[in-house]
Amino acid sequence: MIRLYGEKRANLVRVFAARLRSVAEAEDLIQDLFLKIQALDDLDVAGDGSALLFRMANNLMLDRLRSQARTGARDESWRSLQGVTLGEDQVADIPSAEDVVAARQRLGVMMATLQTLPPQVARAFTLHKLDGLSHAETAAAMGVSRSSVEKHVSAAIKALMTKLS
């Protein structure tokens, strides 16, 4: 079988280069075919074995094309989850470096402003807006009325808006 491979190698490369539209891909495929044939050792084949050789090469090509199609579909699916497509360009769905710096600066101003607020106002804002507690839960945690929490949160928002504007 290896002798037949040697005789038909040039024909195989030419046929599969035309099908795959790449000589390099065809050479890879033919190399894989050689490894398969070598693993068969001295297989007794009826006839000259050309049909078996071409069938093995064709099956390897089909397996490779299926694998490439699966890989392409998986990669496209991953890319669609990672960003946004604008026209034909894939755009990352992450903020720019300038936006990140600006957001960090605003967060710094917000945290510094919270430090300047009266303790009850800062605590109400932190519990409600940052920790995600409802007004009722915040009131229970602070031991004050719900209306006091609403007033404290409102005062904190006004102070933050003034500093961030």
What is the pLDDT confidence band of residue 71, given thresholds at 50, 70 and 90? very high
Question: Is the pLDDT confidence value at 45 over 70?
Answer: no
- The residue among 44, 46, 60 whose CA lies nearest residue 12 is 60
What is the pLDDT confidence band of residue 7, given thresholds at 50, 70 and 90? confident
Question: Is the pLDDT confidence value at 150 over 70?
Answer: yes
Please give the structure tokens belonging to residue 79: 């890319």
pLDDT at 2: 78
Q: 95-126, pLDDT tens digit by residue?
A: 788 989 999 999 999 999 999 999 999 999 99
What is the 3-class SS of 42-56, one letter each residue?
A: CCCCCCCCHHHHHHH
pLDDT at 115: 93
* Mean predicted confidence (pLDDT) in 151-164: 93
pLDDT at 102: 93
What is the pLDDT confidence band of residue 70, given thresholds at 50, 70 and 90? very high
Rounded to a whole number, what is the distance in angstroms from the first to the last CA of the chain? 80
* Mean predicted confidence (pLDDT) in 70-84: 82
Quote the percentage of the chain above a pLDDT of 90.
53
Cα separation of 51 and 71, whole Å? 30
pLDDT at 83: 67
DSSP string, the chain: -HHHHHHHHHHHHHHHHHHHT-HHHHHHHHHHHHHHHHHH-S---STTSHHHHHHHHHHHHHHHHHHHHHHHHHHHHHHHHHEEEETTEEEESS--HHHHHHHHHHHHHHHHHHHHS-HHHHHHHIIIIIS---HHHHHHHHTS-HHHHHHHHHHHHHHHHHHH-
pLDDT at 164: 85
Mean pLDDT of the chain: 87
